[in-house]
């Protein structure tokens, strides 16, 4: 929070964004899920304003994770999918730089975009699997409750005088 205060006084937008990101990480370490979500959202918004593509991906990935921790699985998956598309766009930008013979920029962008795309893709797959698991667990619980009700009814019928 001290860094946030300093960066705010200096009007350093990137520093402010990074401070929000580190505050969110500290809060999430303490499993205080609502507060870090707000901090990740603010960090992402500020990194978008700064145009820092790498930290946009990082903060978006962490925001998606936070949605998952809060039980907002559909929002987590949508955020991971958005992040995957952003990483793919970075890769396309690297390819365009390569076509323009800007080799160093293309190499740097391709490496970063490739890593970010792999991570985003993995997180998207993980989100889909976790949602399916959650839906399966809910269905299993419903079936268990129905079975208990049926068992209770059968016991009542057997013990009822005729």
Would you give the DSSP letter of residue 73?
Answer: H
Segment 142-152 mean pLDDT: 59
Q: Are 108 and 93 in contact (CB under 8 A)?
A: no
Q: Please report the beta strands in the chain, taking only residues with DSSP state E, as ranges in sequence order.
A: none
DSSP-based three-state secondary structure for 105: helix
| The pLDDT of residue 76 is above 80 | yes
pLDDT computed for residue 39 by the predictor:
93
pLDDT grade for 20, boundaries at 50, 70 and 90: very high
pLDDT computed for residue 119 by the predictor:
60
pLDDT computed for residue 117 by the predictor:
59
Distance (Å, whole) CA 56 – CA 64: 12
Distance (Å, whole) CA 63 – CA 48: 14
Provide the residue count of the chain: 162
Segment 3-19 mean pLDDT: 94
pTM assigned to the model:
0.60
pLDDT grade for 98, boundaries at 50, 70 and 90: confident
């Amino acid at each position: 929070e001290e860094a946030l205060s300093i960066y705010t006084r200096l009007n350093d937008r990137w520093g402010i964004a990074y401070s929000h990101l580190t505050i969110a990480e500290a809060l999430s370490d303490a499993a205080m899920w609502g507060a870090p979500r707000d901090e990740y959202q603010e960090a992402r918004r500020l990194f978008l304003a700064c145009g820092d593509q790498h930290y946009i991906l990082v903060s978006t990935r962490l925001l998606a994770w936070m949605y998952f921790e809060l039980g907002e699985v559909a929002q987590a998956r949508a955020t991971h999918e958005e992040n995957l598309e952003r990483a793919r766009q970075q890769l396309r930008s690297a390819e365009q730089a390569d076509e323009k013979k800007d080799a160093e920029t293309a190499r740097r962008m391709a490496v970063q975009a490739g890593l970010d795309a792999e991570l985003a893709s993995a997180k998207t797959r993980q989100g889909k699997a976790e949602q399916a698991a959650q839906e399966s667990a809910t269905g299993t619980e419903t079936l268990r409750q129905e079975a208990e009700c049926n068992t209770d009814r059968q016991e009542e019928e057997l013990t009822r005088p005729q």
